[in-house]
């Protein structure tokens, strides 16, 4: 279940308020494994920023894993209201991502974020935050590690090593393509590390990053560049 709406709807303006809300929301984090049934509908989300203004655009891409078909995309414009502070990215992105996910005609079984789950200084990154406020299983896939150390995984697709901080296992450094730099997978909410690691491989058949994140990044950047955004079916959309 989502966290208390009183927490999820609070308007945060300062770093101190954000850190307090983050710690309170963290109490609702579920790392026990989530649904037993493998996900069918997976959404990838991303947010793009205009460098000269407060304009942002978010995108969600929904795929059906049983067919490999992209079934829907949603693109939403907005304004960012919270400053960039390392470790508090969720307060910039979660509000517009909630709107974006809410405009999907079907509820995803799992959401993957371009960012971190528990691989975060306070063990509550963007994927954790989004999972707690929506109640959805979530995880993060990042291009670089935020915290923790790891040994380089083997060079073959599927090779992985543990990303850890002291005794805490934070995720996996995962080789999604042979002889390509690893990505960093971490649990967000209501799922487990082995499952999301395998899911990351399924979502990354050709490129380093999951296709749904690549598509969400492309759509959000294009909409921001054009200054227009609209919800539309994605069945015939080109893949990048």
Backbone dihedral region of 101: left (phi > 0), alpha (psi from -120 to 50 degrees) or beta? alpha
Digit-coded pLDDT (tens) for 91-141:
999 999 999 999 999 999 999 999 999 999 999 999 999 999 999 999 999
Asked if pLDDT for residue 32 goes beyond 80, the answer is: yes
Q: Do β-strands 41-49 and 110-114 pair in parallel, antiparallel, or remain unpaired?
A: parallel
Asked if pLDDT for residue 229 goes beyond 50, the answer is: no
Assigned token pair, 164:
């850890």
Place of tokens 């491989």: 201
User: Whole-number mean pLDDT of the chain?
Assistant: 90
Angle at 209 between CA 212 and CA 176, to 5 degrees: 125
pTM reported for the whole predicted model:
0.89
How far apart (Å, rounded) are the C-alpha atoms in residues 150 and 46?
26
Contact 151, 178 (CB under 8 A): no
How far apart (Å, rounded) are the C-alpha atoms in residues 215 and 221?
10
The secondary structure element, H or E, covering residue 170 is strand 168-174
How far apart (Å, rounded) are the C-alpha atoms in residues 3 and 58?
23
Task: Of 195, 209, 215, 233, give the one whose Cα is nearest residue 39.
Answer: 195
Predicted local confidence at residue 9, as pLDDT:
47
DSSP H helices in the chain: 5-8, 15-26, 90-102, 126-134, 193-202, 211-226
Digit-coded pLDDT (tens) for 42-89:
999 999 999 889 999 999 999 999 999 999 999 999 999 999 999 999
Contact 58, 47 (CB under 8 A): yes
Task: Of 75, 119, 107, 80, give the one whose Cα is nearest residue 231.
Answer: 75
């Amino acid at each position: 279940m989502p966290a208390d709406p009183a927490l999820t709807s609070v308007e945060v303006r300062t770093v101190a308020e954000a850190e307090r809300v983050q710690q309170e929301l963290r109490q609702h984090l579920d790392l026990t494994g989530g649904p037993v049934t493998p996900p069918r509908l997976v959404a990838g989300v991303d947010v793009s920023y205009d460098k000269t203004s407060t304009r942002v655009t978010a995108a969600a891409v929904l795929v059906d894993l049983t067919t490999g078909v992209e079934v829907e995309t949603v693109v939403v414009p907005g304004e960012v209201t919270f400053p960039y502070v390392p470790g508090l990215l969720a307060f910039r992105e979660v509000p517009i991502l909630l709107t974006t996910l809410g405009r999907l005609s079907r509820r995803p079984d799992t959401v993957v974020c371009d960012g971190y789950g528990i691989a975060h200084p306070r063990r509550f990154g963007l994927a954790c935050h989004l999972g707690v406020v929506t109640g959805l299983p979530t995880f993060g896939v990042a291009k670089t590690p935020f915290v923790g150390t790891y040994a380089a995984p083997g060079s073959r697709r599927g090779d992985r090593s543990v990303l850890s901080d002291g005794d805490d296992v934070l995720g996996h450094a995962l080789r999604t393509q042979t002889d390509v730099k690893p990505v960093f997978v971490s649990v967000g909410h209501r799922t487990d590390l082995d499952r999301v690691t395998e899911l990351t491989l399924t979502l990354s058949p050709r490129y380093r990053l999951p296709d749904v994140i690549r598509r969400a990044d492309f759509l959000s950047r294009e909409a921001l560049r054009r200054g227009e955004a609209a919800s539309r079916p994605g069945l015939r959309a080109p893949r990048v």
